Structure 1
Amino acid sequence: MSINIRERDRVIALAALMQVVTLVQQIAQTGQVNQAEFETLLNSLLETNATNTEAVYGNLSQLQTGIKQLNNQLSKKKDKKDV
Structure 2
Amino acid sequence: MLRRHEIRILGEMERQLRTDDPALAGELTHPRTRFRDWGTTRRALGFTTAALALLCLALGEGAAFFTTAALAVALILLSHWSVRTE
When normalised by structure 2's length, the TM-score is 0.38
More helix by share: 2
When normalised by structure 1's length, the TM-score is 0.39
Q: Pick the structure with greater CA Rg.
A: 2
